[in-house]
Chain A
Amino acid sequence: MGGGLAGLRAAIAAVESNGEITVGLVSKLYPLRSHSVAAEGGTSAVLDPEDNFDLHSYDTIKGSDYLADQDAVEEFVKLVPEQIYTTDHWGCPWSRAEDGRISQRDFGGLSFPRAVFAADKTGFHVMQTLYSRCLMYDRIHFYNEYFATSISVDSNRFNAMTTINLRTGEYTIFQSKSLILAAGGGGRMYRFSTCAHSTTGDGDAIAYRAGIPLKDMEFVQFHPTGLVPSGILITEAARAEGGYLRNSEGKRFMEHYAPTKLEEAPRDIVSRAMMWEIEAGRGVRGGYGNIEYINLDLTHIADKLEERLPMITDIARKFNNIDAAEGPIPVRPATHYTMGGVSVGIGTETVVPGVFGAGENASISIHGANRLGSNSTNECLALGNVAGKKAAEFASSHGIPDLNHDKIREEEKRLWEDIMRRDGGENVAAIRSDLGHTMDVNVGVFKTGEKLESAIKTIYELKERYSRISIQDKSNVFNTELQWALEVGYMLDLAEIVAKGAFERKESRGAHYRKDFPKRDDDNFLKHTIATYTRDGPRLEYSPVRITKWQPAERVY
């Protein structure tokens, strides 16, 4: 499920590891429309002899505010270099030095410049590369624009995935020996977000409803530089290449928050610094209504824009009519990534044998409380590869279970006799908009118990309104209003888990910041949140963090 970086990488791994395997790649989009194409700045890999795996692990673990599982991180960083070389052989145009070798650049929170990149279109080029590789195999069958509505688990095995073929409206059932969840994150439960409109957490919500637990969902990453007012991503590489953040007084301010790394501190720290500046009355106000923002100044690195930052330069020009060489770009922290996801082990396995998870859809956890920039596309490659191989291995020794017809009929009824026939007059888009607003305001960069209680109350109200929606579009073909309705249903479930997890976590760690509990509390909260579906909402439990050689320490940059 899912045709982004993790899904495509997994598909290739499955067919290449076993000549008998066939893969059905089911996506609600054409695969190249997946939001992985929007990843910009880079992907970390230990390639330089001066760098080493321990350093990459340490950076990742410190970045995670010590919530990452250290054994998983150590395993992960070793898997990455081969993926860079593999995608090089498959045609990825990694940016190069004059001698033809792959270049690397600095990125937030790294102690060594280890981000491999393809200008500022890293995700785009890796996606083209993987998609092109998929085209070599007739054994990868693309099921484009099939919208997944549920998976069923029966006798602790994956039984079937139900979908709507958007093109015809037909209810279509997929069965397979194994399943890989690779449907991305749920950033669109917020309104101001760098995420595509399609990033609606389908894979998380579908797994959760089928009884597969989600891990650490309260950790939502806010990228410091979302373009105002659209939220379009302005890559972290802009700061790594030397860009400055300036407040309304025209002053750089990061020295007060991260004296050593300054603008190149990890995302959670930079986002908070920007919001503190805005709260202190030093936000910039300009031609964007009441939105207060911070200026990203690239004018002093104008000579680097064309080669190293061409896409964001183009974006500033096209969308904001700004020449980045001449003037600053208005930015503000925007929801970007969900560290949480389907709880998986190092081998990408979920609690259900034969069901695997990879990419943003999954949480091992490598990213803990805060993912470092340049650590997502590499995860998609490395763990997508693992998931593909494991799923192929599982498939080669198991059959397809008998279809559980009852569950299929139950889901069919939910879709067409419940959702489609609701008639309370509520507009799906209005519910989505209100959800985004409450998440932005109450579950944002700064949280408090009071705000979270208010968010939870609003989410309950929205769920009640959701029970009274009316879908105006009664057609079968490309009924995107029905699709919206199902996506909003997913996001309401996920938002509830995020807000409740955040409410119960009475500490501040990584991207999760509680003004009423501003310190990290290792005695009580050095643990993962595990959310399991019940009819009355998520049941929250906790599991220990695996620590190998880096004891939690104060996080200073």
Chain B
Amino acid sequence: MSGNEYEFTIKRKDDHGKVSYSDYSVPKDRISTVFEGLLYIKENLDQTLSMRYSCTMEICGSCAVEVNGKPKMACSTIASSLKTDKIRVEPIRHFDVIKDLVVDLDSFFDKYRKGLPYIIREDYGDYSSELLQTPEQFQKYEQYSMCIKCGLCMAACPIVGTDEDYLGPASLTAVLRYNLDSRDEGGKYRLEAIGTEEGTSRCHYAGECSEVCPKGVDPSSAIQKLRWQVFKHEISGLIRGRRK
């Protein structure tokens, strides 16, 4: 911690799939965040480094990487907070690496879409006035609406790592977010869409997802609540079935 430079080690992958590690020294007085370190490297030391970034204020979700073994947003990770001069940056786990720190997020967004993450209402197309929703009703789903789709929870989840069909924390949290919205009428469709093998039943409540979420969304609690919704939905389905 006494030197004037951070020692960055970055995991690389080239066009041909060859994996390697590159080391760079970055002056401490030139950067504050890990993202700034990566940008310093790309601007000054090695133009061939590829990474994603955009807003640099932790709201666009672009710059998810693994820093010293933990999934983090590069833009909001203050380098000095790592308490070491050695900064190891790798792509997040559980996604195919396209190049260097850039991973393929298509599977993330495909899974996200499976839970019908949008408001479903019967009054389609009539937008002449507002719908009422009290602050209390909003608070039911507020936390779950803050997801920035960065993928950190998926990278941290041990089940996502071993079971590629598992929908994962982000998608399931989105299901709950819409199910808890007082303006929504589509809960049953969502529960049917996810009430399969790939849904809540696979979660082991390890809680890693909630630990890494940069926005305090707490997907683990969302999945617990959602599992209860799925359970109630299945029971009522059985009862309806018997009455037939």
Contacts and interface: CB of A to CB of B under 8 A. Distances in A.
B105 A89 contact: no
A446 to B, nearest CB: 27
Of A82, A121, A230, chain B has the most CB atoms within 10 Å of the CB of: A230
Contact of B131 (A89, A197, A311, A477): A89
Contacts of B90: none
Contact of A315 (B14, B57, B78, B118): B57
Contacts of B117: 132, 135
Interface string A470-484: 011101111111000
B204 interface: no
A124 interface: yes
13 contacts: A30-B105, A35-B55, A84-B130, A85-B127, A91-B118, A93-B138, A93-B145, A96-B134, A102-B130, A135-B118, A196-B54, A230-B56, A433-B43
Contacts of B54: 29, 33-35, 196-198
A229 B33 CA distance: 12
Given A85-B129, A318-B58, A477 B98 contact: yes
A88 interface: yes
Of B51, B56, B57, B118, chain A has the most CB atoms within 10 Å of the CB of: B57
B88 to A, nearest CB: 21
Interface in A54-85: 82, 84-85
Contact of B62 (A29, A82, A99, A473): A29
Of B61, B130, B148, B149, chain A has the most CB atoms within 10 Å of the CB of: B130
B60 A319 contact: no
Given A429-B42, A476-B15, A311 B119 contact: no
A47 B148 CA distance: 29
Nearest to B44: A429
Nearest to A289: B29
Nearest to A485: B47
Interface stretch (B158-166, B177-185, B223-231): B177-185
B170 to A, nearest CB: 12
B60 to A, nearest CB: 4
Interface of A: 16, 29-30, 32-35, 37-38, 47, 82, 84-86, 88-91, 93, 96-102, 121, 124-125, 128, 132-133, 135-136, 144, 167, 196-198, 229-230, 232-233, 311, 315, 318-319, 427-430, 433, 471-473, 475-481
Nearest to B147: A128
Contacts of A86: 127
The 5 closest A-B pairs by CB, nearest first: A100-B132, A429-B43, A132-B118, A91-B119, A472-B47
Contacts of A38: 55, 57, 59-60
Contacts of B98: 167, 477-478
Given A477-B98, A478-B50, A196 B113 contact: no
A88 B47 contact: no
B234 interface: no
Contacts of B134: 96, 98-100
B218 interface: no
Contacts of A472: 46-48
A4 to B, nearest CB: 11
Interface of B: 14-15, 32-33, 42-44, 46-48, 50-62, 76, 78, 98-100, 102, 104-106, 109, 113, 117-119, 121, 123, 125, 127-135, 137-138, 141-142, 145-146, 148-149, 178, 181, 183-184
Contacts of B121: 89
Contacts of B133: 93, 96, 100
Contacts of A29: 54, 60, 62
Contacts of A233: 57
Given A135-B113, A478-B102, A101 B132 contact: yes
B59 A37 contact: yes
Nearest to B184: A91
A125 B145 contact: yes
Given A38-B59, A85-B130, A100-B132, A475 B48 contact: yes
B55 A88 contact: no
A62 B130 CA distance: 30
A477 B145 contact: no
B50 A479 contact: yes
Contacts of A471: 47
B137 A100 contact: yes
Given A128-B145, A427-B43, A478-B102, 15 more contacts: A16-B125, A33-B62, A38-B57, A90-B119, A91-B118, A91-B119, A91-B183, A121-B59, A196-B55, A197-B54, A318-B78, A319-B78, A471-B47, A472-B47, A475-B48
Contacts of B119: 89-91, 132
A37 B118 contact: no
Nearest to B73: A318
A427 B47 contact: yes
A133 B47 CA distance: 38
Contacts of A84: 130
A473 B48 contact: yes
A127 B118 CA distance: 12
Contacts of B58: 315, 318
A385 to B, nearest CB: 11
B103 to A, nearest CB: 10
A420 to B, nearest CB: 13
Nearest to A28: B54
A136 B118 contact: yes
A135 B55 CA distance: 23
Nearest to A124: B59
A235 B118 CA distance: 28
A30 B129 CA distance: 32
Contacts of A97: 135
A128 B111 CA distance: 16
Contacts of A30: 62, 105, 109, 149
B82 to A, nearest CB: 14
Contacts of B56: 196-197, 230, 232
A37 B43 contact: no
Contacts of B99: 475, 477-478
B13 to A, nearest CB: 9
Contacts of B55: 33, 35, 37-38, 196-197
Contacts of A478: 50, 98-100, 102
A34 B60 contact: yes
Contacts of A477: 14-15, 50, 98-99
A475 B14 contact: yes
Of B54, B135, B142, chain A has the most CB atoms within 10 Å of the CB of: B54
